[in-house]
Structure 1
Amino acid sequence: MAEKKVVSIEDRIPQLKQLRKKKANRRFITYLTLILLLILVIVYLQSPLSHIYSVNVENNRVVDTEEIIELSELSRDQSFWSIDQEAVVEKIENHQEISDVTVNRSWYNQVTISVEEYSRVGYVKSSNLFKPILENGKVLDDTELKVPKGDAPVLYGFSEQEPLTRLTQQLAELDSAVVQLISEIYWEPEDTNKDQIRMFTTDGHEVIASIHNFKDKMKLYPSIAQQVTSDMEGILYIDVGAYFQPYNSNDEVELEASEEE
Protein backbone atom coordinates (compact mmCIF):
# COMPACT_ATOMS: atom_id res chain seq x y z
CA MET A 1 0.00 0.00 0.00
CA ALA A 2 1.39 3.41 -1.07
CA GLU A 3 2.36 5.82 1.63
CA LYS A 4 0.33 9.07 1.89
CA LYS A 5 2.31 12.27 1.44
CA VAL A 6 2.11 14.37 4.58
CA VAL A 7 2.36 18.18 4.23
CA SER A 8 3.45 19.92 7.37
CA ILE A 9 1.61 23.00 8.69
CA GLU A 10 4.80 25.03 8.19
CA ASP A 11 4.65 24.26 4.44
CA ARG A 12 0.96 25.26 4.20
CA ILE A 13 1.23 28.62 6.01
CA PRO A 14 2.49 30.58 2.93
CA GLN A 15 -0.36 29.18 0.81
CA LEU A 16 -2.98 30.09 3.44
CA LYS A 17 -1.54 33.59 3.73
CA GLN A 18 -1.71 34.00 -0.05
CA LEU A 19 -5.35 32.81 -0.15
CA ARG A 20 -6.33 35.18 2.67
CA LYS A 21 -4.59 38.03 0.86
CA LYS A 22 -6.50 37.30 -2.39
CA LYS A 23 -9.82 37.19 -0.51
CA ALA A 24 -9.00 40.46 1.22
CA ASN A 25 -8.11 42.09 -2.12
CA ARG A 26 -11.33 40.90 -3.73
CA ARG A 27 -13.33 42.17 -0.76
CA PHE A 28 -11.55 45.52 -0.92
CA ILE A 29 -12.21 45.86 -4.66
CA THR A 30 -15.89 44.98 -4.14
CA TYR A 31 -16.32 47.55 -1.37
CA LEU A 32 -14.42 50.17 -3.35
CA THR A 33 -16.57 49.55 -6.41
CA LEU A 34 -19.77 49.89 -4.38
CA ILE A 35 -18.54 53.10 -2.78
CA LEU A 36 -17.58 54.56 -6.17
CA LEU A 37 -20.98 53.59 -7.63
CA LEU A 38 -22.71 55.19 -4.65
CA ILE A 39 -20.67 58.38 -5.11
CA LEU A 40 -21.50 58.43 -8.84
CA VAL A 41 -25.23 58.01 -8.11
CA ILE A 42 -25.15 60.85 -5.56
CA VAL A 43 -23.23 63.10 -7.95
CA TYR A 44 -25.66 62.25 -10.77
CA LEU A 45 -28.72 62.97 -8.63
CA GLN A 46 -27.30 66.28 -7.49
CA SER A 47 -26.21 67.38 -10.96
CA PRO A 48 -28.14 68.69 -14.00
CA LEU A 49 -27.58 65.29 -15.61
CA SER A 50 -30.51 63.93 -13.57
CA HIS A 51 -32.83 66.65 -14.85
CA ILE A 52 -35.19 66.19 -17.78
CA TYR A 53 -33.21 66.81 -20.96
CA SER A 54 -36.01 66.55 -23.51
CA VAL A 55 -39.77 65.97 -23.76
CA ASN A 56 -40.93 64.37 -27.01
CA VAL A 57 -44.57 64.25 -28.15
CA GLU A 58 -45.84 61.56 -30.53
CA ASN A 59 -49.00 61.00 -32.62
CA ASN A 60 -50.51 64.46 -32.19
CA ARG A 61 -52.14 65.79 -35.36
CA VAL A 62 -54.27 68.73 -34.21
CA VAL A 63 -53.13 69.71 -30.73
CA ASP A 64 -49.82 71.60 -30.86
CA THR A 65 -46.74 69.91 -29.38
CA GLU A 66 -45.86 72.93 -27.26
CA GLU A 67 -49.39 73.02 -25.86
CA ILE A 68 -49.13 69.37 -24.78
CA ILE A 69 -45.77 69.99 -23.10
CA GLU A 70 -47.21 73.02 -21.34
CA LEU A 71 -50.16 70.95 -20.10
CA SER A 72 -47.77 68.29 -18.75
CA GLU A 73 -46.02 70.93 -16.59
CA LEU A 74 -42.71 69.13 -17.19
CA SER A 75 -39.62 71.35 -17.29
CA ARG A 76 -35.89 70.93 -17.87
CA ASP A 77 -35.04 71.99 -14.30
CA GLN A 78 -37.12 69.12 -12.91
CA SER A 79 -35.62 65.87 -11.67
CA PHE A 80 -36.11 63.03 -14.13
CA TRP A 81 -36.86 60.67 -11.25
CA SER A 82 -39.48 62.86 -9.60
CA ILE A 83 -41.92 62.60 -12.51
CA ASP A 84 -45.41 61.51 -11.44
CA GLN A 85 -46.54 59.78 -14.63
CA GLU A 86 -50.17 59.38 -13.54
CA ALA A 87 -50.41 63.08 -12.67
CA VAL A 88 -48.93 64.06 -16.05
CA VAL A 89 -51.43 61.82 -17.87
CA GLU A 90 -54.34 63.34 -15.95
CA LYS A 91 -53.25 66.91 -16.74
CA ILE A 92 -52.95 66.26 -20.49
CA GLU A 93 -56.22 64.31 -20.68
CA ASN A 94 -57.99 67.44 -19.43
CA HIS A 95 -57.61 68.76 -22.97
CA GLN A 96 -60.95 68.20 -24.67
CA GLU A 97 -59.37 67.00 -27.93
CA ILE A 98 -57.18 64.33 -26.31
CA SER A 99 -58.68 60.93 -25.53
CA ASP A 100 -55.70 58.96 -24.23
CA VAL A 101 -52.14 59.62 -23.01
CA THR A 102 -49.10 57.45 -22.30
CA VAL A 103 -45.98 58.80 -20.57
CA ASN A 104 -42.70 56.85 -20.74
CA ARG A 105 -39.17 57.48 -19.52
CA SER A 106 -36.32 56.63 -21.90
CA TRP A 107 -32.57 56.54 -21.38
CA TYR A 108 -31.70 58.46 -18.23
CA ASN A 109 -33.20 61.89 -18.89
CA GLN A 110 -35.73 61.77 -21.76
CA VAL A 111 -39.53 61.69 -21.57
CA THR A 112 -41.87 60.59 -24.36
CA ILE A 113 -45.55 61.55 -24.35
CA SER A 114 -47.77 59.58 -26.74
CA VAL A 115 -51.30 60.88 -27.28
CA GLU A 116 -54.48 59.82 -29.02
CA GLU A 117 -56.80 62.57 -30.21
CA TYR A 118 -60.52 62.64 -30.85
CA SER A 119 -61.16 63.02 -34.56
CA ARG A 120 -62.73 66.20 -35.89
CA VAL A 121 -65.70 64.90 -37.84
CA GLY A 122 -67.64 68.06 -38.65
CA TYR A 123 -68.21 71.78 -38.17
CA VAL A 124 -71.18 73.79 -36.91
CA LYS A 125 -71.88 77.35 -37.97
CA SER A 126 -72.26 80.01 -35.29
CA SER A 127 -72.41 83.77 -36.01
CA ASN A 128 -70.70 83.39 -39.37
CA LEU A 129 -67.91 81.35 -37.77
CA PHE A 130 -67.40 77.59 -37.77
CA LYS A 131 -66.65 75.45 -34.72
CA PRO A 132 -65.19 71.93 -35.00
CA ILE A 133 -67.12 68.92 -33.69
CA LEU A 134 -65.32 65.91 -32.23
CA GLU A 135 -66.29 62.27 -32.71
CA ASN A 136 -67.80 62.24 -29.19
CA GLY A 137 -70.21 65.03 -30.13
CA LYS A 138 -68.31 67.74 -28.27
CA VAL A 139 -68.38 71.15 -29.98
CA LEU A 140 -65.15 73.13 -29.54
CA ASP A 141 -66.65 76.47 -28.53
CA ASP A 142 -63.24 78.06 -28.00
CA THR A 143 -62.07 77.21 -31.54
CA GLU A 144 -63.63 79.39 -34.21
CA LEU A 145 -62.74 79.33 -37.90
CA LYS A 146 -63.72 81.83 -40.56
CA VAL A 147 -63.80 79.06 -43.15
CA PRO A 148 -64.24 75.34 -42.33
CA LYS A 149 -61.51 73.00 -43.47
CA GLY A 150 -62.40 70.58 -46.23
CA ASP A 151 -61.75 67.53 -44.07
CA ALA A 152 -65.31 67.17 -42.70
CA PRO A 153 -68.88 68.30 -43.48
CA VAL A 154 -70.71 71.30 -42.03
CA LEU A 155 -73.67 70.31 -39.83
CA TYR A 156 -76.83 72.42 -39.59
CA GLY A 157 -80.00 72.36 -37.49
CA PHE A 158 -78.87 70.01 -34.72
CA SER A 159 -80.74 71.65 -31.87
CA GLU A 160 -80.47 68.53 -29.69
CA GLN A 161 -77.25 66.93 -28.47
CA GLU A 162 -78.33 63.28 -28.64
CA PRO A 163 -78.77 62.99 -32.45
CA LEU A 164 -75.62 65.06 -32.95
CA THR A 165 -73.60 62.70 -30.77
CA ARG A 166 -74.92 59.61 -32.57
CA LEU A 167 -74.16 61.09 -35.98
CA THR A 168 -70.63 62.19 -35.09
CA GLN A 169 -69.82 58.76 -33.67
CA GLN A 170 -70.83 57.18 -36.97
CA LEU A 171 -68.92 59.77 -38.98
CA ALA A 172 -65.80 58.82 -36.98
CA GLU A 173 -66.18 55.17 -38.03
CA LEU A 174 -66.55 55.93 -41.73
CA ASP A 175 -63.64 55.80 -44.15
CA SER A 176 -62.19 59.29 -44.54
CA ALA A 177 -62.58 59.09 -48.33
CA VAL A 178 -66.36 58.67 -47.89
CA VAL A 179 -66.59 61.44 -45.28
CA GLN A 180 -64.89 63.87 -47.65
CA LEU A 181 -67.67 63.26 -50.18
CA ILE A 182 -70.11 65.00 -47.80
CA SER A 183 -70.15 68.79 -47.79
CA GLU A 184 -73.28 69.57 -45.68
CA ILE A 185 -75.64 67.66 -43.39
CA TYR A 186 -79.01 69.03 -42.17
CA TRP A 187 -81.05 67.44 -39.40
CA GLU A 188 -84.67 67.38 -40.63
CA PRO A 189 -86.68 65.20 -38.22
CA GLU A 190 -90.21 64.21 -39.19
CA ASP A 191 -93.03 62.62 -37.21
CA THR A 192 -92.36 59.30 -38.92
CA ASN A 193 -88.58 59.55 -38.74
CA LYS A 194 -86.88 61.62 -36.05
CA ASP A 195 -83.50 60.54 -37.49
CA GLN A 196 -83.97 61.98 -40.97
CA ILE A 197 -81.08 63.98 -42.39
CA ARG A 198 -80.53 65.72 -45.73
CA MET A 199 -77.03 65.80 -47.23
CA PHE A 200 -75.32 67.59 -50.08
CA THR A 201 -72.28 65.89 -51.51
CA THR A 202 -69.19 67.13 -53.29
CA ASP A 203 -70.15 65.12 -56.38
CA GLY A 204 -73.35 67.15 -56.71
CA HIS A 205 -76.05 64.94 -55.16
CA GLU A 206 -78.81 65.73 -52.69
CA VAL A 207 -79.27 62.74 -50.40
CA ILE A 208 -81.90 61.73 -47.82
CA ALA A 209 -80.65 59.35 -45.12
CA SER A 210 -81.20 58.41 -41.47
CA ILE A 211 -78.88 58.72 -38.50
CA HIS A 212 -79.60 55.24 -37.12
CA ASN A 213 -78.16 53.42 -40.18
CA PHE A 214 -76.02 56.25 -41.55
CA LYS A 215 -72.65 54.47 -41.32
CA ASP A 216 -73.82 51.29 -43.06
CA LYS A 217 -75.66 53.16 -45.82
CA MET A 218 -72.82 55.58 -46.52
CA LYS A 219 -70.45 52.68 -47.08
CA LEU A 220 -72.67 51.84 -50.06
CA TYR A 221 -73.00 55.42 -51.29
CA PRO A 222 -70.13 55.41 -53.87
CA SER A 223 -71.61 52.44 -55.73
CA ILE A 224 -75.13 53.93 -55.55
CA ALA A 225 -74.06 57.39 -56.75
CA GLN A 226 -72.34 55.90 -59.82
CA GLN A 227 -75.78 54.83 -61.11
CA VAL A 228 -77.05 58.44 -61.18
CA THR A 229 -75.98 60.12 -64.42
CA SER A 230 -75.27 63.83 -64.84
CA ASP A 231 -78.58 64.43 -66.66
CA MET A 232 -80.61 63.04 -63.74
CA GLU A 233 -81.75 65.80 -61.37
CA GLY A 234 -83.44 64.83 -58.16
CA ILE A 235 -82.98 63.33 -54.69
CA LEU A 236 -81.11 60.18 -53.83
CA TYR A 237 -82.74 58.17 -50.99
CA ILE A 238 -80.59 55.77 -49.00
CA ASP A 239 -82.52 55.61 -45.74
CA VAL A 240 -84.69 52.61 -46.68
CA GLY A 241 -83.36 50.69 -49.65
CA ALA A 242 -81.80 52.85 -52.35
CA TYR A 243 -83.68 54.77 -55.03
CA PHE A 244 -83.62 58.01 -56.99
CA GLN A 245 -86.59 60.38 -57.28
CA PRO A 246 -86.50 63.18 -59.87
CA TYR A 247 -87.55 66.68 -58.81
CA ASN A 248 -91.28 67.42 -59.35
CA SER A 249 -92.05 63.75 -59.88
CA ASN A 250 -93.28 60.83 -57.80
CA ASP A 251 -91.50 58.31 -59.98
CA GLU A 252 -88.82 56.23 -58.27
CA VAL A 253 -85.81 54.62 -59.89
CA GLU A 254 -84.58 51.63 -57.94
CA LEU A 255 -80.80 51.45 -57.51
CA GLU A 256 -78.51 48.61 -56.58
CA ALA A 257 -76.58 48.95 -53.35
CA SER A 258 -73.29 47.10 -52.99
CA GLU A 259 -70.18 47.83 -50.98
CA GLU A 260 -67.16 48.42 -53.19
CA GLU A 261 -64.02 46.45 -52.43
Structure 2
Amino acid sequence: MADKKIVSIEDRIPQLKQARKKKANRRFIFYLTLIISLILIIVYMQSPLSHVKSVEVTNNEAVNEENIIDLADINKDQSFWNISADDLTERITEHPEIEHAEVKRSWYNTFVISVQEFTRVAYQRDGDYFYPVLQNGDRLNEVQLDHPREDAPLLHGFEEEPLKELAEQLALIPQSVSLLISEIYWEPEEHNSEQIRLFTTDGQEVIGAISNFSSKMEAYPSIASQLNDDIEGVLHLDVGAYFVPYDNEDLDELDEVEELDYDEEV
Protein backbone atom coordinates (compact mmCIF):
# COMPACT_ATOMS: atom_id res chain seq x y z
CA MET A 1 0.00 0.00 0.00
CA ALA A 2 1.44 3.36 -1.08
CA ASP A 3 2.44 5.79 1.65
CA LYS A 4 0.04 8.67 1.96
CA LYS A 5 1.68 12.13 2.12
CA ILE A 6 0.27 14.31 4.92
CA VAL A 7 -0.21 17.90 3.81
CA SER A 8 -0.65 20.61 6.51
CA ILE A 9 -3.72 22.79 6.36
CA GLU A 10 -1.46 25.86 6.06
CA ASP A 11 0.01 24.49 2.82
CA ARG A 12 -3.40 23.65 1.50
CA ILE A 13 -4.88 27.00 2.54
CA PRO A 14 -2.16 29.72 2.31
CA GLN A 15 -4.73 32.41 3.03
CA LEU A 16 -5.32 31.02 6.54
CA LYS A 17 -1.61 31.20 7.32
CA GLN A 18 -1.50 34.79 6.18
CA ALA A 19 -4.55 35.69 8.24
CA ARG A 20 -3.04 34.15 11.36
CA LYS A 21 0.14 36.11 10.77
CA LYS A 22 -1.79 39.38 10.49
CA LYS A 23 -3.75 38.54 13.61
CA ALA A 24 -0.53 37.87 15.52
CA ASN A 25 0.92 41.17 14.28
CA ARG A 26 -2.15 43.09 15.39
CA ARG A 27 -1.99 41.44 18.80
CA PHE A 28 1.68 42.38 19.09
CA ILE A 29 1.02 45.99 18.09
CA PHE A 30 -1.85 46.21 20.60
CA TYR A 31 0.23 44.95 23.52
CA LEU A 32 3.20 47.06 22.49
CA THR A 33 1.01 50.17 22.35
CA LEU A 34 -0.48 49.29 25.71
CA ILE A 35 2.94 48.85 27.30
CA ILE A 36 4.24 52.10 25.78
CA SER A 37 1.11 53.94 26.97
CA LEU A 38 1.54 52.63 30.50
CA ILE A 39 5.19 53.67 30.48
CA LEU A 40 4.25 57.17 29.26
CA ILE A 41 1.56 57.48 31.94
CA ILE A 42 4.02 56.44 34.64
CA VAL A 43 6.62 58.89 33.35
CA TYR A 44 3.97 61.67 33.14
CA MET A 45 2.72 61.01 36.68
CA GLN A 46 6.26 61.11 38.05
CA SER A 47 7.32 64.21 36.12
CA PRO A 48 6.55 67.93 36.66
CA LEU A 49 4.25 67.72 33.63
CA SER A 50 1.53 66.27 35.87
CA HIS A 51 1.79 68.98 38.53
CA VAL A 52 -0.94 71.55 39.10
CA LYS A 53 -0.44 74.49 36.75
CA SER A 54 -3.12 76.95 37.91
CA VAL A 55 -6.18 77.49 40.10
CA GLU A 56 -9.17 79.60 39.06
CA VAL A 57 -11.92 80.93 41.36
CA THR A 58 -15.37 81.98 40.12
CA ASN A 59 -18.57 83.51 41.60
CA ASN A 60 -16.83 84.91 44.67
CA GLU A 61 -17.76 88.40 45.86
CA ALA A 62 -17.12 88.94 49.57
CA VAL A 63 -14.31 86.37 49.96
CA ASN A 64 -11.28 87.24 47.86
CA GLU A 65 -9.68 84.78 45.47
CA GLU A 66 -6.40 84.51 47.38
CA ASN A 67 -8.23 83.56 50.55
CA ILE A 68 -10.12 80.77 48.79
CA ILE A 69 -6.94 79.43 47.17
CA ASP A 70 -5.22 79.46 50.57
CA LEU A 71 -8.13 77.50 52.04
CA ALA A 72 -7.88 74.91 49.26
CA ASP A 73 -4.22 74.43 50.20
CA ILE A 74 -3.27 72.98 46.81
CA ASN A 75 0.28 71.70 46.58
CA LYS A 76 1.53 72.61 43.11
CA ASP A 77 4.41 70.16 43.48
CA GLN A 78 1.90 67.33 43.69
CA SER A 79 0.41 65.44 40.78
CA PHE A 80 -2.78 67.05 39.46
CA TRP A 81 -4.50 63.65 39.48
CA ASN A 82 -3.52 62.72 43.03
CA ILE A 83 -5.44 65.62 44.57
CA SER A 84 -8.99 64.88 45.72
CA ALA A 85 -11.57 67.43 44.60
CA ASP A 86 -13.78 66.38 47.54
CA ASP A 87 -10.98 67.21 49.99
CA LEU A 88 -10.58 70.63 48.39
CA THR A 89 -14.32 71.27 48.66
CA GLU A 90 -14.34 70.29 52.33
CA ARG A 91 -11.49 72.66 53.15
CA ILE A 92 -12.98 75.58 51.22
CA THR A 93 -16.42 75.30 52.87
CA GLU A 94 -14.78 75.63 56.30
CA HIS A 95 -14.88 79.36 55.61
CA PRO A 96 -17.95 80.74 57.43
CA GLU A 97 -18.96 82.87 54.43
CA ILE A 98 -18.90 80.05 51.89
CA GLU A 99 -22.09 77.99 51.76
CA HIS A 100 -21.13 75.67 48.90
CA ALA A 101 -18.12 74.99 46.69
CA GLU A 102 -17.65 72.92 43.55
CA VAL A 103 -14.20 71.91 42.28
CA LYS A 104 -13.69 70.77 38.69
CA ARG A 105 -10.63 69.78 36.67
CA SER A 106 -9.92 71.69 33.48
CA TRP A 107 -7.29 71.63 30.76
CA TYR A 108 -4.37 72.05 31.25
CA ASN A 109 -3.89 70.77 34.83
CA THR A 110 -6.15 73.54 36.14
CA PHE A 111 -8.55 73.44 39.08
CA VAL A 112 -11.67 75.60 38.71
CA ILE A 113 -13.30 76.45 42.05
CA SER A 114 -16.85 77.77 41.91
CA VAL A 115 -18.23 79.05 45.22
CA GLN A 116 -21.61 80.09 46.54
CA GLU A 117 -21.37 82.54 49.41
CA PHE A 118 -23.77 83.29 52.23
CA THR A 119 -25.25 86.74 51.67
CA ARG A 120 -24.28 89.55 54.01
CA VAL A 121 -27.72 90.81 55.06
CA ALA A 122 -26.75 93.30 57.78
CA TYR A 123 -24.00 94.80 59.93
CA GLN A 124 -23.82 94.96 63.72
CA ARG A 125 -21.70 97.24 65.83
CA ASP A 126 -19.68 95.91 68.75
CA GLY A 127 -17.27 98.32 70.37
CA ASP A 128 -15.33 100.29 67.80
CA TYR A 129 -16.00 97.91 64.90
CA PHE A 130 -18.82 96.77 62.66
CA TYR A 131 -19.29 93.09 61.87
CA PRO A 132 -21.13 91.52 58.89
CA VAL A 133 -24.17 89.35 59.64
CA LEU A 134 -24.85 86.48 57.24
CA GLN A 135 -28.21 85.19 56.01
CA ASN A 136 -27.96 82.22 58.38
CA GLY A 137 -27.66 84.56 61.38
CA ASP A 138 -23.93 84.05 61.96
CA ARG A 139 -21.88 87.14 62.72
CA LEU A 140 -18.40 87.29 61.21
CA ASN A 141 -16.39 88.27 64.26
CA GLU A 142 -13.15 87.85 62.33
CA VAL A 143 -14.18 90.55 59.84
CA GLN A 144 -13.72 93.92 61.56
CA LEU A 145 -14.84 96.99 59.64
CA ASP A 146 -14.24 100.59 60.66
CA HIS A 147 -17.46 101.59 58.91
CA PRO A 148 -20.49 99.55 57.78
CA ARG A 149 -20.95 99.22 54.05
CA GLU A 150 -24.02 100.54 52.30
CA ASP A 151 -25.09 97.17 50.89
CA ALA A 152 -27.06 96.14 54.00
CA PRO A 153 -28.74 97.79 57.03
CA LEU A 154 -27.15 98.43 60.41
CA LEU A 155 -28.67 96.53 63.36
CA HIS A 156 -29.05 97.76 66.94
CA GLY A 157 -29.80 95.85 70.15
CA PHE A 158 -30.35 92.40 68.69
CA GLU A 159 -29.62 89.32 70.77
CA GLU A 160 -28.61 85.98 69.25
CA GLU A 161 -32.02 84.40 68.62
CA PRO A 162 -33.86 87.45 67.19
CA LEU A 163 -30.73 88.25 65.19
CA LYS A 164 -30.90 84.83 63.52
CA GLU A 165 -34.62 85.17 62.80
CA LEU A 166 -34.24 88.67 61.33
CA ALA A 167 -31.27 87.60 59.20
CA GLU A 168 -33.35 84.82 57.66
CA GLN A 169 -36.11 87.33 56.92
CA LEU A 170 -33.70 89.86 55.41
CA ALA A 171 -32.38 87.16 53.07
CA LEU A 172 -35.89 86.80 51.60
CA ILE A 173 -36.28 90.49 50.76
CA PRO A 174 -35.41 91.61 47.21
CA GLN A 175 -32.14 93.52 47.13
CA SER A 176 -33.87 96.59 45.68
CA VAL A 177 -35.98 96.78 48.86
CA SER A 178 -33.19 95.79 51.25
CA LEU A 179 -31.09 98.71 50.00
CA LEU A 180 -33.86 101.07 51.14
CA ILE A 181 -33.34 100.05 54.79
CA SER A 182 -30.64 101.99 56.65
CA GLU A 183 -31.07 100.90 60.29
CA ILE A 184 -33.14 98.38 62.28
CA TYR A 185 -33.71 98.46 66.06
CA TRP A 186 -35.01 95.57 68.14
CA GLU A 187 -37.69 97.01 70.43
CA PRO A 188 -39.73 94.13 71.92
CA GLU A 189 -42.81 95.11 73.91
CA GLU A 190 -45.18 93.20 76.14
CA HIS A 191 -47.84 92.99 73.46
CA ASN A 192 -45.33 92.31 70.68
CA SER A 193 -42.11 90.51 71.59
CA GLU A 194 -41.00 90.60 67.94
CA GLN A 195 -41.35 94.33 67.39
CA ILE A 196 -38.68 96.11 65.38
CA ARG A 197 -38.30 99.73 64.34
CA LEU A 198 -36.49 100.65 61.16
CA PHE A 199 -35.52 103.73 59.23
CA THR A 200 -35.35 103.89 55.46
CA THR A 201 -33.13 105.83 53.09
CA ASP A 202 -36.17 107.71 51.82
CA GLY A 203 -36.84 109.12 55.29
CA GLN A 204 -39.57 106.81 56.60
CA GLU A 205 -39.83 105.36 60.10
CA VAL A 206 -41.43 101.92 60.10
CA ILE A 207 -42.71 99.63 62.87
CA GLY A 208 -42.82 95.91 62.05
CA ALA A 209 -42.49 92.39 63.41
CA ILE A 210 -39.70 89.92 62.72
CA SER A 211 -41.90 86.93 61.82
CA ASN A 212 -43.59 88.58 58.81
CA PHE A 213 -40.97 91.17 58.03
CA SER A 214 -40.00 89.93 54.58
CA SER A 215 -43.55 89.73 53.23
CA LYS A 216 -44.48 93.15 54.64
CA MET A 217 -41.34 94.88 53.38
CA GLU A 218 -41.71 93.38 49.93
CA ALA A 219 -44.78 95.61 49.56
CA TYR A 220 -43.07 98.65 51.09
CA PRO A 221 -42.35 100.58 47.84
CA SER A 222 -46.01 100.52 46.78
CA ILE A 223 -47.17 101.41 50.30
CA ALA A 224 -44.66 104.27 50.69
CA SER A 225 -45.80 105.76 47.39
CA GLN A 226 -49.22 106.41 49.00
CA LEU A 227 -47.77 108.56 51.80
CA ASN A 228 -47.91 112.34 51.83
CA ASP A 229 -44.34 113.66 51.80
CA ASP A 230 -45.44 116.77 53.72
CA ILE A 231 -46.56 114.79 56.79
CA GLU A 232 -44.06 113.01 59.01
CA GLY A 233 -44.98 110.00 61.09
CA VAL A 234 -44.63 106.27 61.61
CA LEU A 235 -45.66 103.61 59.10
CA HIS A 236 -46.93 100.46 60.82
CA LEU A 237 -46.42 97.20 58.93
CA ASP A 238 -46.82 94.76 61.81
CA VAL A 239 -50.55 94.17 61.32
CA GLY A 240 -51.97 95.40 58.03
CA ALA A 241 -50.55 98.75 56.96
CA TYR A 242 -51.38 102.14 58.44
CA PHE A 243 -49.71 105.48 59.02
CA VAL A 244 -49.63 107.47 62.29
CA PRO A 245 -48.42 111.10 62.06
CA TYR A 246 -46.07 112.50 64.68
CA ASP A 247 -48.50 115.39 65.08
CA ASN A 248 -51.99 114.11 65.70
CA GLU A 249 -53.40 117.43 64.46
CA ASP A 250 -52.47 116.22 61.00
CA LEU A 251 -54.86 113.30 61.18
CA ASP A 252 -57.55 115.21 59.29
CA GLU A 253 -55.14 115.58 56.37
CA LEU A 254 -54.61 111.80 56.15
CA ASP A 255 -58.08 110.65 55.16
CA GLU A 256 -56.79 108.86 52.06
CA VAL A 257 -53.54 107.68 53.61
CA GLU A 258 -54.61 106.18 56.93
CA GLU A 259 -56.06 103.08 55.29
CA LEU A 260 -53.24 102.07 53.01
CA ASP A 261 -53.74 99.58 50.20
CA TYR A 262 -51.92 96.37 51.10
CA ASP A 263 -52.10 92.96 49.48
CA GLU A 264 -51.78 90.34 52.25
CA GLU A 265 -50.63 87.74 49.70
CA VAL A 266 -47.56 89.74 48.71
What is the TM-score of this pair, normalised by structure 1? Answer: 0.91
* Aligned twin of 1:242: 241
* Aligned twin of 1:138: 138
* Aligned twin of 1:254: 259
Separation (CA, whole Å) in 2 of partners of 1:211 and 1:22: 82
Matched ranges for 1:99-248 at <5 A: 99-107=99-107, 109-158=109-158, 160-248=159-247
Q: Is the 8 A contact 1:125 1:131 kept in 2?
A: yes
* Aligned twin of 2:59: 59
Secondary structure, aligned partner of 1:255 = coil
Asked if 1:71 corresponds to 2:71, the answer is yes
Q: Is the 8 A contact 1:223 1:258 kept in 2?
A: no
Classify 1:12/1:184 alpha carbon distance in 2 versus 1 (closer, same or farther; 3 Å): same
Alignment-mate amino acid for residue 207 of structure 2: I
Q: Choose 17-26 or 115-124, whichever is displaced more.
A: 17-26
How many percent identity over aligned positions? Answer: 57
Asked if 1:33 corresponds to 2:38, the answer is no
Secondary structure, aligned partner of 1:254 = coil
* Aligned twin of 1:4: none
CA RMSD in angstroms comes to 2.2
Classify 1:156/1:14 alpha carbon distance in 2 versus 1 (closer, same or farther; 3 Å): same
Using the TM superposition, give the Cα deviation of residue 10 of structure 1 relative to its aligned residue in structure 2, in angstroms.
8.0
Separation (CA, whole Å) in 2 of partners of 1:165 and 1:8: 91
Q: Is the 8 A contact 1:220 1:259 kept in 2?
A: no
Separation (CA, whole Å) in 2 of partners of 1:13 and 1:236: 104
Separation (CA, whole Å) in 2 of partners of 1:150 and 1:113: 28
Q: Is the 8 A contact 2:10 2:17 kept in 1?
A: no
Separation (CA, whole Å) in 2 of partners of 1:194 and 1:210: 8
Separation (CA, whole Å) in 2 of partners of 1:8 and 1:85: 61
Secondary structure, aligned partner of 1:124 = strand
Alignment-mate amino acid for residue 255 of structure 1: L
Using the TM superposition, give the Cα deviation of residue 42 of structure 1 relative to its aligned residue in structure 2, in angstroms.
1.1
Secondary structure, aligned partner of 1:21 = helix
Using the TM superposition, give the Cα deviation of residue 235 of structure 1 relative to its aligned residue in structure 2, in angstroms.
0.6
* Aligned twin of 2:4: none
Q: Choose 16-25 or 231-240, whichever is displaced more.
A: 16-25
Q: Is the 8 A contact 1:153 1:183 kept in 2?
A: yes
Using the TM superposition, give the Cα deviation of residue 24 of structure 1 relative to its aligned residue in structure 2, in angstroms.
2.1
Secondary structure, aligned partner of 2:32 = helix
Secondary structure, aligned partner of 1:173 = coil
Q: Is the 8 A contact 1:50 1:108 kept in 2?
A: no
Q: Is the 8 A contact 1:224 1:258 kept in 2?
A: no
* Aligned twin of 1:44: 44
Alignment-mate amino acid for residue 125 of structure 1: R
Q: Is the 8 A contact 2:121 2:170 kept in 1?
A: yes
Alignment-mate amino acid for residue 147 of structure 1: H
Separation (CA, whole Å) in 1 of partners of 2:245 and 2:16: 110
Classify 1:178/1:11 alpha carbon distance in 2 versus 1 (closer, same or farther; 3 Å): same
Alignment-mate amino acid for residue 221 of structure 1: Y
Separation (CA, whole Å) in 1 of partners of 2:122 and 2:155: 7
Separation (CA, whole Å) in 1 of partners of 2:14 and 2:211: 95
Secondary structure, aligned partner of 1:113 = strand
Using the TM superposition, give the Cα deviation of residue 75 of structure 1 relative to its aligned residue in structure 2, in angstroms.
2.4
Asked if 1:94 corresponds to 2:99, the answer is no
Q: Deviations over 1:72-128 (max 9, x none)?
A: 111221111211222222211111111112222234622121211110000111223
What are the ranges of 5 or more consecutive residues in structure 1 without an aligned counterpart?
1-6
